[in-house]
């Protein structure tokens, strides 16, 4: 094409005009090198030198026991946060404070984010099923196996809700065969492949027992006599006449509405089951809790009364009440039989412990030994009251919000109205839940229910631990 005879005067000009447009090669080199420099080499160099500085600074310090602080992030991050050009997407809102410091999580180049990078801040997270349980298809599950960052401001929150089901089933679908020692049954879906609920109760010798509902009577010794049915009858005797109790009369939800405050004598029983001396002395009651405190109180009271010149006067007789203008209530032992304080105290103690008060709810046994020496009540009859078992979650592996179910009657799930023994564990089975809850696939009239709706991956174990601490089976570290 470019051939031309030397005689042609236009040849040189034509050649020039047919030469490729200038700048292509130069521009190519400039853009290639600029891209490599600004996007690869500079961020790499800045981040690795910042990493070296950080390593030097932290080499001397002791192993950390606290979470990474904002000052540390600020001090050690890559200059100009230039490595942010590598940012794969916005962090979850909970992690947005780390946005300027890639190495807060990506501590080691060319290695995937390590669990230690997470636990540098998340100090109390407990491993699920022990460290690194084998999950199908993922021989070494990491925090990031389930928690994938850079998915937007709600990324992790959404994952925790929506991604929990399939990940759980990966392992739990055939866990019974693979890990028979765990005693867990297989789960595939809440709707049709979830075992009947089990409750964890205290068995013989104080060890935990797992009772599958429906297979045996779910009972647990409480040390109490408490018939729910009798208390839920309409028009039972109250301090001010007939009254009808509701569940909430005694059971108060915790602030998170996940569980209930323990029932306490003072707030939940005493208004009806008052521990008053000689029924008419309504302002004079023995303390609840310690046998010796109660006996001492009785002994002291009668000693005082014996020395009082006019015990008939209500204002002198401590605790005696009467309606204004009414005849003083004289029909009591205290008034009717002034005399030996010790004898009166013995009669009252026997009456209170064995007939009228303690024995109503507790198993009370008279014991031969004398009381603690030096105690005012030591010369009264002595009693042993069976301990009341501390409350604990019956289903510690599940999370149930009573607030979310407030539109239902309590008795729709808990058969309290027909329960006559305190030892009956009134936890409902799975069938009742399935009236409203479908599995992972939503049904038209039902609530879609992934594993994460009721189960937590980490806190389930934290809850177990918490319960063990409460029950005294575990002494928390640092408390010894």
Partner 1 sequence: MANDNILSHERLRYFKWSALLMAASIGGYALDTPRFGPGGGTVLGYTLGTLGALLIVWLLLFGIRKRQYVGGVGTVRGWLSAHVYLGLSLLVVATLHTGFQFGWNVHTLAYGLMVAVIASGMWGVAVYLRNPGLMSDLLDGKTLEQHAAALGEIDGQARALAATISPRFVELVEASSKAPIGRPGWRRLFRRVPGCTTTAAVESLRTDLRASEREVRDLFALQFRRLQQLKRIRAYLRLRAWTEVWLVVHVPLSLALLGALLAHILAVFTYW
Q: Could you tell me the smallest distance in angstroms from the CB atom of residue 4 to partner 1?
A: 5
Residue number, 11 or 425, with CB nearest to partner 1: 11
In contact, 419 and 428? CB cutoff 8 Å: no
Q: Could you tell me the smallest distance in angstroms from the CB atom of residue 102 to partner 1?
A: 5
Q: Could you tell me the smallest distance in angstroms from the CB atom of residue 455 to partner 1?
A: 17
Helices 155-162 + 164-172 axis angle, to 10: 40
Residue number, 89 or 241, with CB nearest to partner 1: 89
How far is Cα 15 from Cα 18, in angstroms, rounded to an integer?
Answer: 5
Phi (first) and psi of residue 447, to 5 degrees = -90, 130
Residue number, 5 or 327, with CB nearest to partner 1: 5
In contact, 97 and 153? CB cutoff 8 Å: no
Give me the residues that bind partner 1 (CB under 8 A), please.
Answer: 1, 3-5, 8-11, 13-14, 16-18, 20-24, 27-36, 39-40, 43-44, 47, 83-90, 102, 106, 109-113, 148, 151, 159, 163, 166-167
Q: Could you tell me the smallest distance in angstroms from the CB atom of residue 40 to partner 1?
A: 4
How far is Cα 304 from Cα 302, in angstroms, rounded to an integer?
Answer: 5
In contact, 460 and 164? CB cutoff 8 Å: no
Task: Locate all alpha helices (DSSP H) within 354-437, ordered by sequence.
Answer: 358-361, 430-434
In contact, 380 and 371? CB cutoff 8 Å: yes
Q: Could you tell me the smallest distance in angstroms from the CB atom of residue 415 to partner 1?
A: 40
Residue number, 73 or 269, with CB nearest to partner 1: 73
Residue number, 30 or 230, with CB nearest to partner 1: 30
Q: Could you tell me the smallest distance in angstroms from the CB atom of residue 97 to partner 1?
A: 17
Cα–chain-centroid distance for residue 187? 23
Residue number, 82 or 334, with CB nearest to partner 1: 82
In contact, 381 and 350? CB cutoff 8 Å: yes
Q: Could you tell me the smallest distance in angstroms from the CB atom of residue 62 to partner 1?
A: 28
Residues 6 or more apart whose CB falls under 8 angstroms from that of 28 comprise none
Q: Could you tell me the smallest distance in angstroms from the CB atom of residue 145 to partner 1?
A: 9
Token pair belonging to 389: 């078992």
Taking phi over 0 as left and psi of -120 to 50 as alpha, with beta for the rest, 291 belongs to alpha
Residue number, 103 or 461, with CB nearest to partner 1: 103
Q: Which of 324, 322, 302 is nearest to 311 (CA)?
A: 302
Look at residue 238 and give its three-state secondary structure: strand
Residue number, 150 or 356, with CB nearest to partner 1: 150
């Amino acid at each position: 094409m470019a051939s031309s005879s030397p005689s042609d005067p236009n040849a040189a000009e034509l050649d020039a005009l047919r030469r490729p447009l200038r700048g292509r090669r130069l521009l190519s080199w400039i853009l290639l090198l600029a891209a490599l420099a600004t996007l690869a080499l500079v961020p790499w160099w800045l981040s690795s030198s910042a990493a070296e500085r950080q390593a030097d600074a932290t080499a001397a310090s002791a192993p950390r026991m606290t979470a990474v602080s904002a000052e540390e992030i600020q001090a050690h991050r890559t200059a100009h946060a230039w490595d942010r050009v590598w940012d794969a997407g916005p962090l979850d809102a909970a992690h947005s404070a780390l946005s300027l410091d890639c190495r807060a999580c990506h501590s080691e180049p060319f290695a995937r984010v390590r669990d230690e990078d997470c636990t540098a801040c998340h100090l109390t997270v407990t491993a699920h099923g022990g460290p690194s349980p084998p999950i199908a298809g993922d021989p070494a599950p990491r925090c990031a196996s389930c928690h994938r960052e850079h998915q937007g401001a709600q990324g992790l929150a959404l994952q925790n809700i929506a991604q929990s089901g399939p990940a759980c089933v990966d392992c739990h679908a055939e866990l019974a065969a693979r890990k028979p020692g765990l005693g867990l049954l297989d789960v595939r879906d809440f709707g049709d492949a979830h075992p009947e609920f089990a409750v964890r109760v205290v068995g013989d010798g104080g060890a935990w027992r797992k009772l599958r509902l429906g297979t045996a009577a779910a009972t647990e010794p409480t040390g109490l006599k408490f018939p729910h049915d009798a208390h839920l009858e309409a028009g039972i005797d109250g301090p001010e006449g007939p009254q009808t109790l509701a569940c909430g009369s005694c059971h108060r939800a915790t602030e998170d509405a996940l569980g209930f405050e323990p029932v306490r004598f003072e707030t939940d029983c005493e208004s009806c089951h008052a521990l008053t001396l000689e029924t008419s002395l309504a302002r004079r009651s023995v303390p609840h809790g310690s046998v010796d405190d109660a006996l001492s109180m009785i002994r002291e009271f009668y000693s005082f009364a014996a020395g009082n010149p006019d015990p008939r006067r209500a204002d002198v007789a401590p605790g005696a009440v009467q309606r204004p203008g009414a005849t003083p209530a004289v029909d009591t032992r205290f008034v009717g039989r002034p005399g030996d304080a010790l004898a009166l105290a013995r009669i009252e103690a026997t009456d209170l412990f064995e007939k009228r008060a303690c024995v109503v709810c507790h198993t009370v046994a008279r014991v031969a030994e004398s009381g603690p020496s030096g105690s005012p009540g030591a010369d009264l009859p002595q009693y042993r009251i069976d301990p009341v078992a501390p409350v604990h979650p019956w289903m510690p592996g599940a999370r149930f919000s009573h607030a979310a179910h407030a539109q239902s009657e309590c008795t729709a799930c808990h058969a309290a109205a027909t329960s006559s023994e305190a030892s009956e564990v009134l936890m409902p089975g799975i069938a009742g839940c399935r009236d409203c809850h479908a599995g992972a696939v939503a049904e038209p009239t039902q609530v879609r229910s992934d594993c994460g709706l009721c189960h937590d991956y980490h806190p389930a174990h934290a809850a177990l631990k918490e319960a063990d601490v409460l029950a005294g089976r575990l002494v928390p570290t640092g408390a010894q």
